[in-house]
């Protein structure tokens, strides 16, 4: 049986995934200018990836006996492309830190399925961070 701490962290991860799913999708529709046009589809693609993360984590949480949250963390869209990308970079860095913590806790609890799931998601979050860092370099 999973610890309360692990269940709580998984729910925090879901809230974060719900946040960035909405945040990135709104950035996809609110972009402006030539540079925004160049990255609008990146926002949409990553938003869909984040939505899939929320679903996978929620399924695991339910299996472990938890109940997934429906409340996202605070959404911060940004006023311009640079603010959007800076916020997204910060959010991805936070996710990476949180997922490493969950992976370590799952390992401590011998929950290898959760550990493997979060390692896969961690790799994708690192790709998202790399994307946002690269886009920021061009501004």
Q: Give tens-digit pLDDT for 71-84.
A: 999 999 999 999 99
Both tokens assigned to 44: 């949409």
| Mutual angle of helices 4-30 and 112-137, in 10-degree steps | 30
What integer pLDDT is reported at residue 54 of this predicted model? 98
How much of the chain, in percent, has pLDDT values that exceed 70?
A: 100
End-to-end CA distance of the chain: 48
Instruction: Please tell me whether 125 is known to bind a ligand.
Output: yes
* Range of the structural domain that residue 27 is part of: 4-137
25 is an annotated ligand-binding site residue: no
Where does the pLDDT of residue 33 fall: very low under 50, low under 70, confident under 90, or very high at 90 and above? confident
- Please tell me whether 83 is known to bind a ligand: no
Domain count, the chain: 1
pLDDT at 8: 98
Mean pLDDT for 98-107 is 98
- Average pLDDT over the chain, rounded to whole? 96
The closest alpha carbon to 43, from 35, 118, 71, belongs to 35
Q: Is the pLDDT of residue 138 over 80?
A: no
CATH number, residue 122: 1.20.1260.10
Mean per-residue pLDDT, 107-129:
98
**Which is nearest to 68 in space by CA: 82, 57, 80?**
57
For residues 3 and 110, is the Cβ–Cβ distance under 8 A? no
Say if residue 127 carries a ligand binding annotation. no
Q: What is the pLDDT of residues 45-58, one digit of tens each?
A: 999 999 999 999 99
**Residue 28 in marked binding region:** no
């Amino acid at each position: 049986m999973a610890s309360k701490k692990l269940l709580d962290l998984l729910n925090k991860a879901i809230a974060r995934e719900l946040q960035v799913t909405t945040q990135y999708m709104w950035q996809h529709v609110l972009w402006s200018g030539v540079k925004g046009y160049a990255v609008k589809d990146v926002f949409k693609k990553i938003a869909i990836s984040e939505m899939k993360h929320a679903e996978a984590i929620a399924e695991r949480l339910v299996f472990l006996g938890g109940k997934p949250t429906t409340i996202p963390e605070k959404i911060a869209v940004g006023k311009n492309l640079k603010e959007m990308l800076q916020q997204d970079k910060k959010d991805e860095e936070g996710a990476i830190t949180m997922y490493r913590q969950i992976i370590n806790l799952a390992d401590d609890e011998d929950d290898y399925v959760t550990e493997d799931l979060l390692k896969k998601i961690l790799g994708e979050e690192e790709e998202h961070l790399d994307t946002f860092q690269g886009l920021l370099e061009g501004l």
